[in-house]
Structure 1
Amino acid sequence: MGIEVGGLLGLIWLIIVVWAIVKVAKSSASGLAKLLWIIALLVFPLVGLIAWFLFGPKG
């Protein structure tokens, strides 16, 4: 049962990170800001996602 739960949580986490990347790409931020946020989300998924929720582009 541990493998199935871990796989499901991993899939949910992947979906959240991909959603955040899409939201960054569609935001009105500058190109450089978008690139930096996407790199942060890919390199540091947990910290990058938390930082994006707190400080990322709104709207």
Structure 2
Amino acid sequence: MNLAFIQNMGGGGIVTILLFSLAYFILWVYCLVDALRSNFKDPNMKLIWVIILLFAHGLGPITYLILGKNSKTTN
């Protein structure tokens, strides 16, 4: 594995990437826990959202935050 690009980034670039990665991981975990703990109007929606969050890493949490809130019950 060629990691030559890391040598040219400097310390600030690596820290920035690590911070964005950590923030995205926290967002992903929040969405996954929220989907597992929520009650949805359709019982299959919980499974569908968990699968989306597990396999669509790039857009899964953002899609859940935009569209997932509308499919929950208001208990």
Give yes or no for TM over 0.5.
yes
* Counterpart-to-counterpart distance in 2, 1:17 and 1:5: 18
Unaligned runs of 5+ in 2: 1-11
The number of aligned residues is 58
The answer as to 2:53 corresponding to 1:41 is yes
- The amino acid of 1:40's aligned partner reads I
Q: Which runs of 4+ in 1 moved over 4 A?
A: none
Q: Give TM-score scaled by structure 1 length.
A: 0.80
Higher-Rg structure is: 2
Q: Give TM-score scaled by structure 2 length.
A: 0.66
| Higher helix content, 1 or 2 | 1
Unaligned runs of 5+ in 1: none
What is the CA distance between 1:22 and its match in structure 2? 0.4
CA RMSD of aligned residues (A): 1.5
Task: Give the share of equivalent positions with the same residue, in percent.
Answer: 31
Deviation by residue 1:12-34 (Cα, 9 ceiling, x = unmatched):
1000000000000011022x321
